[in-house]
């Protein structure tokens, strides 16, 4: 057998094995059965309208300040504005507090929204369970949430990760899978693309309403930290809708002013031992733009002795080895990556590609267009990039990958799922990704993160014990 034939045979053997290892990392051999992605019909149980006249619906909460002592509570009433008041109280007490919110409506083509309420409740106690009520008279509805612990470097905290969710049957499986995970997420970091209303003619905004009712079983009880994706743009100038992000910004308020931001599409929060920066892939980010200037001022404010874990959320991935949206994040990477390396971001979560991928710690900051140094290289000051746009939306699965697997790609798989990022202390966090097809406690990919500020150990897949990555 000639040498060339030997290597061809070796490649065929590797391709037939349970895990395909290329000159990059691991491409999972798990093959999900290809099924059509179909939105659930409006009469599905998950879209049920709560009973009673003008009953509050689409209830969702998010952090309302920088540190976690405020909560923005939002809901919709359909028949009339009703009450703007939120009544709330700590667990095991009878003394109730109240706060007044605001109400707004919007029109989008031939759709007129219900009455959208937003109320920020403030001066909450850390690490405390609160009950809250919205509505009026016989149609009051009650929910609860737990505030985060006080900020500190060794405060443990567990984040859930989802993106590109939509409202298909697969979306429902993803949300159910997350809710049933024994590693209970306390807050969801959502990396964009919510309702996919723009999939329909005139961007049928009834699908914003149905999504709000579908997700309420989670969004009313734990904060979701929102990131805007391309399906939040809702830009439709041919039908008179020339204001981008119109339904999204009316429905989903975030504490951007508390972060010194001038727009709700980029902002930051602190939660437990994490400093979380949210960016907009679909807003201007070139030099001297508002987003660029805000981020330039934001990074130096991060205090790693207070919040050692530095997390960035954005929608369009910078490192992606699928043939979907390939290189779409490149211009943003060129503009901003040097800051991610300089300030030693721990991890970047993104969506957009409807599959899963985890990168090595790499950067491409050496490339300056004339030096030909255009290959990403291992860089222990760089983030791990994780694409988790695998919520299960109507556009279906991204299952066409680039070959060979690039060296920056540590693990990839074309499946739907969610992830958990579990911060243990200032030095260690445990991350695991769960595909929908498995039992709730099964990790399809897992990884120990070593903090870049307090414990900058080389954690790459090729240098750590392979038992930290579980593959079927």
Residues serving a catalytic function are: 325
Pairing mode, if any, of strands 409-413 and 26-28? parallel
Q: How far apart are the two ends of the chain, measured CA to CA in Å? A: 33
| Under 8 Å between Cβ of 397 and 168 | no
My answer on whether omega of the bond before 404 falls inside 30° of 0, hence cis, is yes
Its sign, for the CA torsion 55, 57, 63, 68, is positive
Distance of CA 103 to the CA centre of its chain: 27
DSSP 54-90: T--EEEEEEE-SSSSS-EEEEEEESSS----EEEEEE
Q: Helix, strand, or coil here: 162?
A: strand
Closest CA to 72 of 229, 257, 207, 202: 257
**Cα angle vertex 103, ends 98, 106, to 5°?**
160
On the 0-12 / 13-18 / 19+ scale of CB atoms within 10 A, 214 is buried
């Amino acid at each position: 057998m000639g040498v060339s034939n030997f290597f061809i045979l070796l490649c065929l053997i590797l391709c037939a094995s349970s895990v395909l290892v290329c000159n990059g990392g691991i491409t999972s051999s798990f093959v999900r059965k290809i099924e059509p992605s179909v939105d659930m019909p409006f009469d599905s149980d998950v879209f049920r309208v709560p009973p009673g006249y003008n009953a509050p619906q689409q209830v969702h909460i998010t952090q309302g300040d920088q540190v976690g002592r405020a909560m923005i509570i939002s809901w919709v009433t359909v028949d009339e504005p009703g009450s703007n008041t939120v009544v709330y109280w700590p667990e095991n007490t009878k003394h109730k507090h109240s706060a007044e919110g605001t109400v707004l409506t919007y029109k989008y083509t031939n759709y007129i929204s219900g009455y959208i309420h937003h109320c920020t409740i403030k001066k909450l106690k850390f690490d405390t369970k609160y009950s809250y009520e919205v509505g009026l008279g016989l149609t009051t509805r009650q929910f609860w949430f737990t505030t985060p612990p006080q900020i500190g470097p060794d405060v443990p905290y567990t984040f859930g990760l989802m993106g590109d969710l939509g409202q298909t049957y697969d979306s429902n499986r993803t949300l159910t899978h997350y809710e049933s995970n024994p590693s209970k997420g306390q807050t969801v970091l959502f990396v964009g693309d919510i309702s996919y209303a723009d999939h329909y003619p005139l961007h049928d905004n009834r699908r914003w309403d149905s999504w709000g009712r579908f997700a309420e079983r989670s969004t009313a009880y734990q904060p979701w930290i929102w990131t805007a994706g391309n399906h939040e743009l809702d830009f439709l100038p041919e039908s008179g809708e020339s204001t981008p992000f119109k339904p999204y910004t009316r429905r989903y308020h975030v504490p951007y002013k508390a972060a010194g931001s001038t727009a709700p599409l980029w902002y930051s929060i602190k939660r437990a031992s994490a400093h979380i920066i949210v960016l907009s892939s679909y807003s201007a980010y070139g030099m001297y733009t508002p987003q660029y200037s805000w981020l330039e001022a934001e990074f130096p404010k991060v205090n790693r002795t207070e919040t050692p874990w530095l997390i960035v959320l954005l929608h369009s991935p910078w490192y992606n080895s699928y043939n979907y949206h390939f290189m779409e994040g490149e211009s943003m990477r060129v503009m901003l990556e040097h800051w991610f390396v300089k300030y030693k971001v721990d991890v970047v979560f993104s969506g957009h590609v409807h599959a899963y991928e985890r990168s090595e710690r790499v950067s491409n900051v050496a490339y300056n267009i004339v030096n030909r140094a255009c290959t990403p290289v291992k860089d222990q000051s760089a983030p791990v990039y994780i694409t988790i746009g695998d919520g299960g939306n109507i556009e279906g699965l991204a299952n066409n990958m680039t070959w060979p697997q690039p060296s920056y790609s540590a693990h990839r798989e074309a499946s739907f799922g969610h992830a958990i990022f579990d911060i243990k202390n200032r030095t260690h966090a445990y991350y695991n990704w769960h595909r929908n097809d498995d039992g709730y406690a099964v990790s399809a990919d897992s990884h120990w993160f070593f903090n870049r500020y307090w414990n900058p150990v080389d954690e790459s897949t090729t240098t750590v014990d392979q038992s930290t990555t579980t593959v079927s």
